Amino acid sequence: MKKPENHVYRADLMEAKRRKNVRMQLLSILFWGLLWGCMIGGGILGFNYLFGDMPSVSSEQELWVSNRPSSLEVVDSQGRTIALRGPRFGRRVPIDELPARVITPFLAVEDARFFEHKGVDFVGVGRALVKNIAAGHTVQGASTITQQLVKNVFLNPHQTIKRKAQEMVLAWQIDSKFPKKKILEVYLNRIYFGNNAYGIDAAAWRYFSKKPQELTLGEAAMLAGLPKAPGRLSIDITAKPALDRRAVVLQRMVDAHFITPQLAADVAKEPVVVKTTPDPDEGELAYAVDMAAKEIDTLDPPISPDRIARITIDPRIQQDAVETIQKILAKNAGSGVNQAALIAIDKQGRILAIVGGRSYKQSQFNRVTQAKRQPGSTFKPLVYAAALEMGMTPNTIKEDKPININGWKPQNFGKTYSGKVTLSTALTKSINTVAVELAVQIGIDRVIGTAQRLGIESQLPKHPSIALGAGEVTLMDMTRAYATLANDGVRVEPYLIERVDTTRNTIAYERKSHAPTQVYDPLKARQMTAMLGDVIAFGTGHRAQLANGREAAGKTGTSQNFRDAWFVGYTADIICGVWVGNDEFKPMNGVSGGTLPAIIWSEFMNKAHEGMPLNPLPTIDDLNRPDSQTMAMFYENLAQFFSSAGGESLGALGQERKRVEQ
């Protein structure tokens, strides 16, 4: 009976042992699984930590624009720099245009094996490691030019294992994607040289007033030494730290067999002759630069940070505007005038000069585009323009007499009345009652509609007092509206930016030409020009008369209690608006549009037209010349106007043209 019991007992022990082995095997598998899982997971986490946020480099464009601080260089029509905001970015210099004496100092001191490695120089790393161990401290680095480009363009400057790992991987990627010469070109054109200068072109100009191609070996060696510590070394490149660094560059060139020891010794003895070129002083041009910067920031798609804006400002005319305003305001210090503004444009809309205030340093508020003031009688021509559209003519008779409009009794400036007058005479004398009567007769909505078509973009009040300039508008508004009259009824849109380039010689933005928009009958525009010409010849604007008999048309304006004084007018070539007043709306000492504004306008326009032919204003009489180019342009504009107006027959136009040509 015991044998079966022993057999069962041994079977139980064997089963228990088997189960224990299974459990141990399962635990072993679990342990190794967990261990490998941790290792793999740790590896993945480590990889993600090192490279998860690493930027990618997919195009050459990224090499040029990534991580650039924003800059705006403003140039005139001749390409001359007239303003600079932010860092000075040099123009892109192709590597093939740089002589060997300029390139080799950079290669020697930064990466003598540049053309031999694949972005990371392991030979250089080993050599640097041996030298640093032997010296007991860091005496030599091993970063390649490609790695330095990566560090400056894509990564932060912090010395961490993560950044170094990314730097090496990106350097290898860039080296495999782009030719060596392209990498070196980007590096030389983007590296920082201190003193706000980025790129070899900016550095050569900043320190030596030269083009990079003109640098001597000594000058190139000096520049090649600056990127190591640009903030410290660029303070004074004639001082010992910079000279010592230049000596290091020359010795590295000898070590790399780029130059002989004798040439290095000779160059080291050369004195450093610094010829700095300061950035241009914006002065009052800063108002225009503000406008350009604001407009560029609104462009879609956004423009890369290295922006070079070519603007329409004529430097000579701009300076004339600034000097005229400052001189006349200083000469009339007792007038109670603290501020003035001026804008001048041509018939294409190019802004030739803009002065947003008496002193940009004291106030950056642009009184041409931002200040809304009452234009006074400079608004009257827009009322008369609407009246002509209703079938009236300059010879239409109106009576200057006291009027009462729902209790409002507008009076003339001298509180006298002239009786029956033509519209032309009423405008010449700036009679208030006739302007108000016209506005009421033709309708305030029609007046506002005409003003908006001509160029007023500010909101206008629907009240008869609008005829006397009771609404608030900008100087830009008024100048644009007068420009449309000067341009035979073709709307003029003032603009400042012609084109925006990048430092890489690419065009980022170019203003597109727009088809002219005929918003007002050209025949009536010439009638308005004739009436506004009389204002200067015989009326309130006589102080605006120009030298040498140059023809001009324009209108004075004075708001209530002498808070604003205006003169807006034009010649055959330039349209100009002037405003004087005080920011706090304080009344001036009897200053009207026919005094200081007209004087400023006249003196400025005389200067602005120097060297220009005495072109006459366009008149209706020009149409009596069958061979006149003016007549052809007139009829083209007139046809466009009737076509856009829709409902009026062109038959009368054809008959009139036939009659005139005969």
Residues labelled as active-site residues: 110, 377
- Cβ atoms of 225 and 249 within 8 Å: the answer is yes
Find the DSSP H helices in 459-595: 475-486, 522-538
| Token digits of residue 177 | 């994607």
- Residue 583, phi then psi, degrees to nearest 5: -60, -35
Cα–Cα distance between 80 and 252 in angstroms, integer? 38
CA distances from 194 to 66, 87, 236 (A): 19, 10, 11
- The single-letter code of the amino acid at 624 is N
Nearest C-alpha neighbor of 423 from the set 386, 456, 378: 386
In this structure, are residues 74 and 501 in contact, taking their beta carbons and an 8 Å threshold? Answer: no
Helices (H), 209-304: 217-225, 230-233, 240-255, 261-269, 286-297
Rounded CA separation 23/326 (Å):
98
Contacting residues for 226 by C-beta, under 8 A, at least 6 apart:
193, 194, 203, 233, 234, 237, 242, 245
Q: How far is CA 16 from the centre of its chain?
A: 87
Burial 629-662 (b: 16+ CB within 10 A, else e): eebeebbebbbbbbeeeeeeeeeebeeebeeeee
Q: How far, in Å, CA of 525 to CA of 346, rounded?
A: 17
Enumerate residues 6+ apart whose C-beta is below 8 A from 650: 639, 642, 643
Burial tier of 137 (Cβ tally within 10 Å: 0-12, 13-18, 19+): exposed
* Identity of residue 291: M
- By three-state DSSP, how is residue 281 classified? coil
CB under 8 Å to 479, separation ≥6 — which residues? 343, 345, 494, 568, 575, 576, 577
Using an 8 Å Cβ cutoff, are 373 and 473 in contact? yes
DSSP string for 396-464: -EEEE----BTTB----TTS---EEEEHHHHHHTT-HHHHHHHHHHH-HHHHHHHHHHHT--S---SSG
